[in-house]
Chain A
Amino acid sequence: MIIGPIGFAAPWLLLALLALPILWIILRAVPPAPIRRRFPGVALLLGLKDDDSVTDRTPWWLLLLRMLAVAAVIIGLAGPVLNPQQDRQPGSGPVLIVMDGGWPGAQDWTSRAELADRLLAEAGREGRPTAILRLTAPEEAAFQSADLWRARIAGLAPQPWTPTADMIARATEVLPEGGFETLWFTDGLMIDGRDALLAALEARGPVRVFASGRSPVALLPAVYQDGALRLTARRAEAGAAQDLTIAAHGLDPSGTPRILANLPLRFETGETEALTEASLPAELRARITRFEIEGLRSAGAVALSDDSLSRREVALVAGREDREGLELLSPLHYLRQALAPNADLLEGGISDVLPANPDVIILADVATLSPSEEEALLEWTDAGGLLLRFAGPRLAASEVSRTEEHPLMPVRLRAGGRTVGGAMSWGDPKTLAAFPEDSPFFGLPIPDDVTVTAQVMAQPDPTLADRVIAQLTDGTPLVTRKPIGQGQVVLIHVTANAEWSSLPLSGLFVRMLDRLAVSSAGQGIDAADLEGTTWQPVTVLDGMGRVQDAQTLPGVDGAALLTGALGPDLRPGLYDGGERRLARNTVSADSVLQPASWPSRIPVEGLNRPEETPLTGWLLAAALALLLADVIASLALSGRLMGARAAVILLVAMSALPNDAAASDDFAIAATTELKLGHIVTGDPRLDETALAGLRGLSETLFFRTSVEPGAPMSVNLETDEIGLFPFLYWPVTPDQPTPSAEAYEKLNRYLRSGGMILFDTRDADVAGFGAASPNGRKLQQLAAPLDIPALEPIPEDHVITRTFYLLQDFPGRHTARDVWVEAAPADAEQIEGMPFRNLNDGVTPVVIGGNDWAAAWAMDERGNALYPVGRGFGGERQRELAFRFGVNLVMHVLTGNYKSDQVHVPALLDRLGQ
């Protein structure tokens, strides 16, 4: 039901408004209940009459307040909505929301999700069952309550591919039964098989299409060509000119991901393709991991880059540089031709090229090396270099690796090699056998016309079978390989020129070099090159264009990697093939972005619609506020409202301040307004009382004798109170006190580390020497074990605590045990000549441990009378006085640190000042 701009989800509830007048009459008839008060002055009231007898009824404005509150509740529960979608007639029957759900829709996914949410809410208000079908991930969609689907909207995300014909066919299969209305969120691109699906949907009911006004933009993979990076972007619809920025992301030299370069890109008016070029230094180029169109969040706006942008450095070294010979007979000619497009070539002697640290060194028919060269090469290979050797007449004639394996050769060689199929030999030229599965060449097609007429022969060794990665049809090795450290050496048993075989003339030669990662192909690579390989995803893109870890995604077949349609099994991302990495991007060079066009009978709507505002929450909140006002007004009317109470009610109602925070503040304020001593609550009330009284006595003594003027001491609960506010804590030890919790120990350790002091008092006159013999001693050991307490020693005679205020050598409490333990002085503390004291440690000892029951000696009642007897007669009073002096010294030590220690330097300082 819609009244004016407000629609109602449950209009029948509004009938309850009719009950309001009845309620009015009932409330009006019942007067407020009287309060009973005890009041002695009633004797004076007797006989007084009320002026009028009308006010016992509830006043009309209070009734109105209550009526308004009830009305607000009723209207609120009726589900009012401001600006409901009323541009169309409310439909009936189920609603199916179809979403393309591919990367082109990721650019404005949030507005799609919002609109879908609003449409679902609308359907929910009309009581229509709903379902969502995503074409990129078609699943059987059952019609359910709109609220269920609304909860799942947030979990839907665009996929980094576009719907394929297979997916459309699957979606057509899983369409729900029966008639329904279809709301189709298109990504704006044409989909194969869309018309069939559209027809199927139209057979079930009306179809409405929602499309974004923005045309999808895609970034093609970067191409390195003629010394420059070429980046191409495409858009579906040729519209007005559009300026974009492409950011090249990569790792900076310190390994931090950052934007390495920004490239401008401009779509001219009426163009669907834009091109930008950038020439970046090779070193920078090699570090680029991906290009992104800034400001567009979709997988299509990201182009991952792989090895193809980084060119490998290959050094060519020929044993016999035949300057006078024919160019085509040069051992390096075919290598140069094969590698030049994809690699940077170096030529020269071994000692010349090694300092450049190339990725690959190719030795074409180089037999003997000088010891220094050999050592340098071995080192370079060991560090990860790839040494590729070709055989030749010189190698065949040399003694290298003849009797024992040369470190830079994968196998031992037989003398002389062999020649087959020549004029002077029997047999035909040999062809290549198919590559075994563990060979890096596995899957490469072998042309028929590749023949081998001469080769060097490997000695049969136990390790030979492992090292062969290509062989001839008769089983003789053609390519052998041996790992050296992190690198490897590969020997091809024929020459690098066409002298011994036709291999260098064939395309297989180039592909084999690719597979050996001599050249970093990637450009111009085709499916055939990757036949038989498996590629493991390293990182994948999601629909929004975010790079994510591939985690446990399965590997994909090499051939499918390049040509297969993207989908759940083949996600765009970076794939690892062992030696190389290959990027599969969302958009490839031959992708066409064809804008979707819809038949004229289908209404196409934009994504932006006027906002619907549900008013339920506001109305219920207003009702609550009215009821609160009613509470206050009722209280005021019945005389129960005192000023303070009103303030409390308002405070509680308006602010939800937690009370415990205020309570802990009270404790902190109480502890910090003045300097206060504290004692740890042990749980034994008598002991706690004594401790508090003892600290009171000590505080009084300090107040009267020193400039330290502490306030009344406080009891500190380790579990609940903040102990950092106290400079000094007294901790009497009883055998049965609870052990603090882990949090409390953390607090205690923090307290000790940050300069607090705890006085442990076992109160047993130290009869056990803090061993386990007395229960208090055992408890102390148990309590202090988790604490961060340094090494201790009995107070030495020159400890600063013996002279911070009084000069003391004994520290009695109620008992007179001599040993009181403090943090040990550093071992290197030395007595300086002429100084009375050692130069001791800075800072305050974090613990003082003793057993003299000081609190009992200090304890005073409010009037300053001692609570416990100490000793006997005058001697006892002297002992109590010494106990007070110890307390004064202790607090002075806590508050002034080693100030008194520093005073020994006063003569020296005065002397230095020239006085």
Chain B
Amino acid sequence: MTQTQPLTLRARAEAEAARFPPLLARAEHLAGTVLLGEHGRRRAGQGDDFWQYRPVQQGDPVRMIDWRRSARGDTQFVREREWQIAQSVMLWVDQAASMRFSSDPNLPEKADRARLLALAIAVLLVRGGERVGLTGTTLPPRRGNAQLLRLAEMLSRDDDTDYGIPESRAMIPQARAMFVSDFLSDIAPIEAALTKAADRGVRGLLLQVLDPAEEAFPFQGRTIFQSVGGTLAHETLKAGDLRGRYLARLAERKAALADLCAATGWQYQCHHTDAAAQAALLWVWRALERGAGT
């Protein structure tokens, strides 16, 4: 035992570690497609970059006057710098069994796509100097590349529950958040989590990741549908007949999510695993930027 333990530990560690670089590399690769523009708070504040000159007002200390600028005219100017502080972004990625589904061997699992997008946005945010972490208490937001490795590790853990419930504990007030899931479970916990987050002033976005089969329901004949975790089952004699009603319920669910977002000031987007990850990443990036100013 004494001989084997380090060996098995090493082997397991290798196996575990083998998972990070691909996910991280893919995330880096995906993140590389987004060009980082200027990333500031677009308001005067503490920071290094020049923001604007403004005339001296009452109460400005003399040492704040920019003499080089002021010497060109009669008015005295103060040089303001852009307010650059780091924002905290908290991610929640559904790790439940329902995410480990793909209808076609050529398509990635939903969980895979969700993790990829989450990690890619984390890479972008870290490069922009933001602090990224997970919701809940497992991984509070931090900055730096080491955080990315920790994120990759945490994101690679599968959850055994059938459907995931957003984690909304320990939300940092006024932070940003991103929930990635298929949102197929009961809507009440989702609603509760979202409102709780919104109550603490957290803005963010819901990214719903769906498989094309879940969108199209291409089934016929007598079928027993089972959830991936196996907890739920539904038998039908004629799957084709259920299609219309299933699609109606799905649309209803999407509408509910969109309404919820509209009410709480969040943003909602649905992404399919057969679509390009890049488009979704771009939307997420834009959505985070958009929400930044307001």
Q: Is B150 an interface residue (CB 8 A)?
A: no
Q: Is B161 an interface residue (CB 8 A)?
A: no
Q: Is B276 an interface residue (CB 8 A)?
A: no
B residues less than 8 Å from A31 (CB atoms)? 222
A residues less than 8 Å from B101 (CB atoms)? 38-40
A residues less than 8 Å from B250 (CB atoms)? 41, 44
Q: Is A862 an interface residue (CB 8 A)?
A: no
Cβ B234 vs Cβ A45 within 8 A: yes
Quick one: given A41-B246, A42-B233, are A34 and B241 in contact (CB under 8 Å)?
no
Q: Is A32 an interface residue (CB 8 A)?
A: yes
| Binary contact readout A597-615 vs B (1 if CB under 8 angstroms, 0 otherwise) | 0000000000000000000
B residues less than 8 Å from A910 (CB atoms)? none
> What CA separation (Å) do A31 and B237 show in the bound complex?
10
Cβ B220 vs Cβ A43 within 8 A: no
Quick one: given A48-B234, A55-B238, are A38 and B221 in contact (CB under 8 Å)?
no
Q: Is A36 an interface residue (CB 8 A)?
A: yes
Within 473-524 of A, Cβ neighbours of B (below 8 Å) are at: none
> What CA separation (Å) do A36 and B235 show in the bound complex?
9
Cβ B240 vs Cβ A639 within 8 A: yes
A residues less than 8 Å from B235 (CB atoms)? 34
CB distance from B164 to the nearest CB of A (A): 11
> What CA separation (Å) do A468 and B217 show in the bound complex?
113
B224 in complex: contacting residue of A35, A50, A636, A641, CB < 8 Å: A35
* Chain A residue nearest to B97 in the complex (CB): A40
A residues less than 8 Å from B98 (CB atoms)? 40, 43
B residues less than 8 Å from A639 (CB atoms)? 219-221, 223, 239-240
> What CA separation (Å) do A636 and B234 show in the bound complex?
21
Cβ B220 vs Cβ A636 within 8 A: yes
Quick one: given A31-B222, A37-B226, are A48 and B214 in contact (CB under 8 Å)?
no
> What CA separation (Å) do A31 and B185 show in the bound complex?
33
B residues less than 8 Å from A42 (CB atoms)? 225-227, 232-234
Cβ B222 vs Cβ A44 within 8 A: no
B221 in complex: contacting residue of A40, A48, A637, CB < 8 Å: A637
Quick one: given A40-B182, A43-B184, are A50 and B221 in contact (CB under 8 Å)?
no
| Binary contact readout B248-268 vs A (1 if CB under 8 angstroms, 0 otherwise) | 011001000000000000000
CB distance from B213 to the nearest CB of A (A): 8
Cβ A39 vs Cβ B227 within 8 A: yes
Cβ A50 vs Cβ B225 within 8 A: no
Cβ A45 vs Cβ B184 within 8 A: no
Within 33-77 of A, Cβ neighbours of B (below 8 Å) are at: 33-46, 48, 50-53, 55-56
Q: Is B163 an interface residue (CB 8 A)?
A: yes
CB distance from B220 to the nearest CB of A (A): 3
Cβ A32 vs Cβ B222 within 8 A: yes
Q: Is A336 an interface residue (CB 8 A)?
A: no
CB distance from B250 to the nearest CB of A (A): 6
Q: Could you tell me the dominant secondary structure of chain B's interface residues?
A: mixed
Cβ A38 vs Cβ B226 within 8 A: yes
CB distance from B217 to the nearest CB of A (A): 7
Q: Is B228 an interface residue (CB 8 A)?
A: yes
> What CA separation (Å) do A636 and B221 show in the bound complex?
8
Cβ B225 vs Cβ A39 within 8 A: yes
Quick one: given A43-B227, A44-B184, are A32 and B232 in contact (CB under 8 Å)?
no
CB distance from B215 to the nearest CB of A (A): 9
Q: Is B236 an interface residue (CB 8 A)?
A: yes
Cβ A638 vs Cβ B222 within 8 A: yes
CB distance from B219 to the nearest CB of A (A): 5
B residues less than 8 Å from A55 (CB atoms)? 237-238
| Binary contact readout A621-665 vs B (1 if CB under 8 angstroms, 0 otherwise) | 000000000000000111111100000000000000000000000
* Chain B residue nearest to A638 in the complex (CB): B221
Cβ A53 vs Cβ B237 within 8 A: yes
Choose among B182, B220, B235 the residue with the greatest number of A CB atoms under 10 Å from its CB.
B220
Q: Is B242 an interface residue (CB 8 A)?
A: yes
B residues less than 8 Å from A36 (CB atoms)? 223-224, 226
* Chain B residue nearest to A44 in the complex (CB): B249
Q: Is B290 an interface residue (CB 8 A)?
A: no
B223 in complex: contacting residue of A34, A636, A641, CB < 8 Å: A34
CB distance from B29 to the nearest CB of A (A): 12
> What CA separation (Å) do A642 and B163 show in the bound complex?
29
Q: Is B245 an interface residue (CB 8 A)?
A: yes
Q: Could you tell me the dominant secondary structure of chain A's interface residues?
A: loop
CB distance from A481 to the nearest CB of B (A): 96
> What CA separation (Å) do A56 and B218 show in the bound complex?
19
B185 in complex: contacting residue of A43, A51, A53, CB < 8 Å: A43
> What CA separation (Å) do A40 and B220 show in the bound complex?
17
CB distance from B228 to the nearest CB of A (A): 5
> What CA separation (Å) do A42 and B232 show in the bound complex?
7
Cβ A50 vs Cβ B237 within 8 A: yes
B residues less than 8 Å from A50 (CB atoms)? 236-238, 241-242
Within 166-224 of B, Cβ neighbours of A (below 8 Å) are at: 182, 184-186, 211, 213-214, 217-224
Cβ B246 vs Cβ A32 within 8 A: no
Choose among A31, A32, A53, A639 the residue with the greatest number of B CB atoms under 10 Å from its CB.
A639
Within 40-99 of B, Cβ neighbours of A (below 8 Å) are at: 98-99
CB distance from A48 to the nearest CB of B (A): 6
> What CA separation (Å) do A39 and B110 show in the bound complex?
12
> What CA separation (Å) do A637 and B240 show in the bound complex?
10
B residues less than 8 Å from A638 (CB atoms)? 220-222
CB distance from A599 to the nearest CB of B (A): 76
Cβ A41 vs Cβ B214 within 8 A: yes
Cβ B241 vs Cβ A51 within 8 A: yes
CB distance from A115 to the nearest CB of B (A): 57
B228 in complex: contacting residue of A38, A45, A52, A640, CB < 8 Å: A38
Cβ B222 vs Cβ A45 within 8 A: no
CB distance from B13 to the nearest CB of A (A): 25
> What CA separation (Å) do A686 and B265 show in the bound complex?
57
Cβ A35 vs Cβ B221 within 8 A: yes
A38 in complex: contacting residue of B99, B222, B227, B234, CB < 8 Å: B227
> What CA separation (Å) do A35 and B222 show in the bound complex?
6
Choose among B184, B225, B245, B250 the residue with the greatest number of A CB atoms under 10 Å from its CB.
B225
Within 1-59 of A, Cβ neighbours of B (below 8 Å) are at: 31-46, 48, 50-53, 55-56
Choose among B99, B222, B232 the residue with the greatest number of A CB atoms under 10 Å from its CB.
B222
A residues less than 8 Å from B225 (CB atoms)? 37, 39, 41-42, 45
CB distance from A857 to the nearest CB of B (A): 28
Cβ A32 vs Cβ B227 within 8 A: no
Cβ A640 vs Cβ B221 within 8 A: yes
Quick one: given A43-B184, A51-B238, are A34 and B224 in contact (CB under 8 Å)?
yes
CB distance from B107 to the nearest CB of A (A): 13
> What CA separation (Å) do A550 and B24 show in the bound complex?
87
> What CA separation (Å) do A640 and B238 show in the bound complex?
13
> What CA separation (Å) do A52 and B236 show in the bound complex?
10
B residues less than 8 Å from A32 (CB atoms)? 221-222
Cβ B226 vs Cβ A48 within 8 A: no
B residues less than 8 Å from A38 (CB atoms)? 101, 226-228
* Chain B residue nearest to A53 in the complex (CB): B237
> What CA separation (Å) do A647 and B244 show in the bound complex?
27
Cβ B220 vs Cβ A56 within 8 A: no
> What CA separation (Å) do A606 and B218 show in the bound complex?
68
* Chain A residue nearest to B252 in the complex (CB): A44
> What CA separation (Å) do A48 and B281 show in the bound complex?
36
* Chain A residue nearest to B215 in the complex (CB): A41
19 of the cross-chain contacts (CB-CB < 8 Å) are A31-B222, A35-B223, A35-B224, A36-B223, A36-B224, A37-B223, A40-B228, A42-B226, A42-B232, A43-B163, A44-B246, A48-B236, A48-B242, A48-B246, A50-B241, A51-B238, A55-B238, A639-B223, A639-B239
Query: What 9 A-B pairs have minimum CB-CB distances, sorted nearest first?
Result: A639-B220, A639-B221, A40-B98, A638-B221, A34-B222, A42-B225, A44-B249, A39-B225, A41-B214
Chain A residues at the B interface, C-beta cutoff of 8 Å: 31-46, 48, 50-53, 55-56, 636-642
Further contacts, 10 of them, CB under 8 A, given A35-B224, A48-B236, A639-B223? A36-B226, A39-B219, A39-B227, A40-B98, A40-B99, A40-B227, A43-B163, A45-B242, A50-B238, A639-B220
